[in-house]
Amino acid sequence: MKDIGEHEFISKIVSKYISSNPYSDVYVQDNIALKIDGFPLKYSFPFMDSYDLGWKAVVATLSDLISFGSIPVTVLVSIGVNPEIEISEVENMLKGINDACAYYNAKFGGGDTNSANGSGWIDVSAYGVLSCKERPVPVPGDLVYMTGEIGLTTMVFMELLYKNVGVLPKESVDRIRHPVIPRSLIKANEELCETVSVSSDVSDGLLITLHKLTKLTNLGMELWKIPLATVAEEFMSSKGLPLEELLRVSGEEYETVFLVKKESEPLFTHIMKKWGIRVTKIGKLVESPLIRLGNKEIEVHGWDNFKGWF
């Protein structure tokens, strides 16, 4: 598996057995959106506790549902923990799960507990109701928008890989411990049915998200800019590291990318402003299947659960 990697395994092997598009992170049936996500509990940092892991696991799943354009309804959780773990640690994780569900007005419906060797794992499944029954078809010339900026969580991963970041910015630590996708996006999505053709969250890296969107639309992208957090941009500049390295090691930003109909751009920006969501126009769709930044073709890099950062 480490030779082929998670993403290639899904596109080449898993795709043969599932009844959905392998490049979509959310499964849709009728008016229902379904998502499952998880990670080993060892994917933690010294500044995180079990409450943080429970919160983060829920947000990682709901981020996909909300960015996709659905209203979260119910969350189910499966955890595997070492029998030697203290009960208080597991209860603290359940508190994090419950609080994250409540924050997004979703019900925590229960789930399953298992015994596990080592640090264990957590999987979160959720379903939601689609905000829009139909969306427009993406075409060349449509615009690519993104919420927020990337780079803050990258600082934490840089420290993990290179041990040369120094003191991590508080913003970076907070983003890793307690990620949040704006609740107002749930309401905004209800007004974007005729404006946005496709939308997706950014979790395994911006380039992976953009690559999936090109596969979903059979179109390429011409990018004009990458919105970077100032502290991350300054760090990369001080170390002489290129943008490509930041993009390779980025992930867990939980921002949202939208493919916006060109003729509906004024309405889109009005709705985003109305709901207090900051967005940046980063490019447009083109007929060529490639992703380009300026005149340079971008090679897709990001996080892979079997390869690591590639």
| Structural domains of the chain, count | 2
The reply to whether 36 and 182 lie within a common domain is no
The reply to whether 54 and 164 lie within a common domain is no
Distance (Å, whole) CA 230 – CA 101: 31
* Cα–Cα separations (whole angstroms), residue 88 to 7, 93, 295: 36, 9, 55
Residue 164 scores a pLDDT above 80: no
Confidence label for 158 from pLDDT (cuts 50, 70 and 90):
confident
- pTM (predicted TM-score): 0.95
Distance (Å, whole) CA 281 – CA 146: 7
Q: Which residues contact 1 (CB under 8 A, 6 or more apart)?
A: 9, 306
Contact 80, 115 (CB under 8 A): yes
The reply to whether 64 and 201 lie within a common domain is no
Distance (Å, whole) CA 259 – CA 173: 30
Give pLDDT, residue 239. 82
Run of H or E including 74: strand 70-81
Domain extent, residue 67, equals 31-130
Q: Is residue 135 part of a domain?
A: no
The reply to whether 111 and 160 lie within a common domain is no
How large a percentage of the chain has pLDDT more than 70?
100
Please write the tens of the pLDDT for every residue from 240-294: 889 999 999 989 999 999 999 999 999 999 999 999 999 999 999 999 989 999 8
Distance (Å, whole) CA 74 – CA 86: 28
- Among 288, 167, 146, CA closest to 217: 288
DSSP-derived pairing of the beta strands 291-293 and 220-223: parallel
Q: Could you say which of 130, 159, 191 is where a domain stops?
A: 130
Residue 210 scores a pLDDT above 90: yes
| Relative orientation angle of helices 230-239 and 152-162, to the nearest 10 degrees | 30
Contact 75, 124 (CB under 8 A): yes
Q: Could you say which of 106, 130, 154 is where a domain stops?
A: 130
Distance, CA of 77 to chain centre = 19
